[in-house]
A and B are shown apart, each in its own frame.
Chain A
Amino acid sequence: MPIMNNQITVKNLVKRYGACYALNNVNLDIAKGEVVVIIGPSGGGKSTFLRILMQLEKIDAGEIHIEQVCVARTNNFGRVEYIDKNIWRQVKQKIGIVFQNFPLFPNKTVLENLVLAPLLLKKSSKKEAIIEAQNLLKKIGMGEKSNSYPCELSGGQKQRAAIARALSMQPEIILFDEPTSALDPELVNNIIDVIKILAIENGKTVVITTHQLNFAAEIASKIIFMDQGKVIETGTPQELLNNPQSKRLQLFLREFNK
């Protein structure tokens, strides 16, 4: 199997909240350098999936491989076993995540937000970390804001800073959990550009959840449609958006285009 190329593989993933399935037997492979966009209605399990990859949520059953390391799996007794915390911490350095509501650290300046993790975890020299962070900020047009506190930034600037922070540890995989849905529509293109510049053009593996189909069409190499905790359809943007096979996706697209 071409599992060697896969950076993320999940098998039979199940996540329940009480009697309600947030993820119901999800199987996915995400290869290196792919730009995967997960679309679907709210409550369809998109965000839960990303949070599970970061181990912010526990799973009820299934198997997760990240960078060819099995980080969680159901054992023979039906219980989920997680990888040793120290190994997980190393694996986690290869993944970054950007949340919908950009939780920057309010007590730190933009620059301090960016250099915090490299200084603490990579033991980079202070000078090195600062130069790297400033380069990153310049690339996304935030060079002048490096000494501002998050409260002094607009929503779009906060999200750009949050993206830069997620990249400060130079992850191989970057997850975006609805990166634009808390922003004004005119800022969406700006964020798309930042994602392109920082992630896609650098060959990172990108997984994005979104409600915005134009977003998906523009940058995705693969689109996944999820609903009620299940992967309903997978394919290229053309296949999914122009020629949906499942009834559920046809309905979703019709609603969307109204």
Chain B
Amino acid sequence: MISSLQNICLNLTGLFWQILPGIKVVFELFILTMVFSIPLGIILAIGRLSNCKILSKSIQIYIWVMRGTPLMLQLIFVYFGMGNLGINIERFPAAVITFVLNYAAYYAEIFRSGIQSIERSQFEGAEVLGLNYWQTMRHIILPQTLKRVLPPIGNEVVTLIKDTSLAQVIGIVEVFTIVKITAAREFVIYPFLIAATFYLIMTYIFTKVFDALEKHYAYYE
């Protein structure tokens, strides 16, 4: 009995060291996606709301394609498809590019609805003071939008943590890949529980981060 417990503990520590590089990959993919996709999402949202019909329509189509096809398919397309076209991208950058392009489409819709939820009188209030479009956006509209879109953004962030596991389809070794290999090799199920625990801890942390952000922005209204 005791020896089997010891055995499990040993296995667990062993597994932890095995998945550590995977955790690093998940973190990197997660952070890089966040850092680039949110600003890109804001830019896309502003373009989508612009008076320029061609710009607005192209962004609509972009959002439709990115949200309308599986992320897994997009990963394969960017990594292998681009390779076929003679553009060779490394696995990890290919994953980052795909995740950024995909998540930016979701963020674009979140920011669009956020911007549109700001009362017209706020735009008019800035306009009559003489502020131009970009000044109005930067100082009045976007700060208020950011506060309003925090809950849906938090939602996307949690999804993103779990979606990083899709990167395995282009051969990226992240947490889930390692866990799967171990489970198959030793014919046991507990590595999956470890993976589940990892994702749960990550989502817990970021849920708390977003709670704190929402509290921080509660200083007005």
Q: What are 30 A-B residue pairs whose CB atoms fall within 8 Å in the complex?
A: A54-B127, A89-B132, A92-B128, A93-B130, A95-B128, A96-B128, A97-B128, A99-B121, A103-B119, A103-B122, A103-B124, A105-B125, A105-B126, A106-B220, A106-B221, A107-B140, A107-B220, A116-B129, A116-B139, A117-B130, A117-B131, A121-B130, A121-B131, A149-B219, A151-B220, A151-B221, A165-B129, A166-B128, A168-B129, A169-B130
Any A CB within 8 A of the CB of B162: no
Which residues of A are found within 8 Å of B144, using beta-carbon distances? 105-107
Task: Name the distance in Å between A112's Cβ and chain B's nearest Cβ.
Answer: 9
- Identify the interface centre among B119, B129, B147, B221: most chain A CB within 10 Å of its CB: B129
Q: Is A101 close to B, CB under 8 A?
A: yes
Query: Who on chain B is nearest to A118 by CB?
Result: B129
Q: Is the CB of B129 within 8 A of A169?
A: yes
Report the minimal beta-carbon distance from B133 to chain A, rounded to whole angstroms.
11
- Check: B197 CB closer than 8 A to any chain A CB: no
Interface centre among B124, B135, B140, B220 (most CB of A within 10 A): B220
Q: Knowing A89-B130, A169-B130 are in contact, say whether A103-B139 is a contact too (CB < 8 A).
A: no
Alpha-carbon separation in the docked complex, A93 to B130 (Å):
6
Establish whether residues B121 and A103, one from each chain, have CB atoms under 8 Å apart when the complex forms: yes
User: Chain A, 224-240, contact with B by CB distance < 8 Å: what is the 0/1 string?
Assistant: 00000000000000000
Which residue of chain B has the shortest Cβ distance to A97 in the bound complex? B128
> Complex Cα distance A149/B147, Å?
15
Query: Is the pair B121, A101 in contact by a Cβ cutoff of 8 Å?
Result: yes
By CB atoms of chain B within 10 A, which of A117, A150, A165, A168 has the most? A117
How many A residues face the partner with a CB closer than 8 A? 27
Report if A56-B128 is in contact (Cβ < 8 Å); known contacts: A106-B220, A150-B220. Answer: yes
B220, closest chain A residue (CB): A149
* Interface assignment of A20: CB less than 8 Å from any CB of chain B: no
Judging by beta carbons under 8 Å apart, are A120 and B125 in contact? no
Number of interface residues of B (CB under 8 A): 21
CB under 8 Å from chain B, chain A span 57-115: 89, 92-93, 95-97, 99, 101, 103-108
Give Cα A22–Cα B140 distance, bound, in whole angstroms: 31
The CA-CA distance from A192 to B167 in the complex, in Å, is 66
Tell me the smallest distance from the CB of A241 to a CB of chain B, in Å. Answer: 31
Q: How far is the CA of A105 from the CA of B119 in the complex (A)?
A: 11
Extra A-B contacts (10), CB below 8 Å, given A54-B127, A99-B124: A56-B124, A99-B125, A105-B122, A105-B125, A106-B144, A107-B143, A107-B147, A107-B220, A121-B129, A121-B130
Chain A residue, CB-CB nearest to B124:
A56
A residues in contact with B128, CB < 8 Å: 54, 56, 92, 95-97, 166
Interface positions, chain B 135-162, Cβ under 8 Å from A, are 135, 139-140, 143-144, 147
A179 to chain B, nearest CB (A): 14
Complex formed: what's the CA distance from A121 to B121 in Å?
20
Q: Please report the C-alpha to C-alpha distance between residue A101 and residue B120 in the assembled complex, in whole angstroms.
A: 12
> Quick one: which of A104-150 are within 8 Å of B by CB?
104-108, 116-117, 120-121, 149-150
CA distance in complex: A89, B127 (Å) = 10
B129 to chain A, nearest CB (A): 4
- Check if A103 sits within 8 Å of B147, measured CB to CB: no
Pick from A92, A93, A103, A121: contact of B125, CB under 8 Å? A103
Query: Closest Cβ of chain A: how far from B199's Cβ, in Å?
Result: 35
Closest 10 CB pairs of A and B: A103-B121, A117-B129, A103-B125, A149-B220, A107-B143, A97-B128, A106-B220, A121-B130, A151-B221, A107-B144
Compute how far the CA of A169 lies from the CA of B127 in the bound complex, rounded to whole angstroms: 13
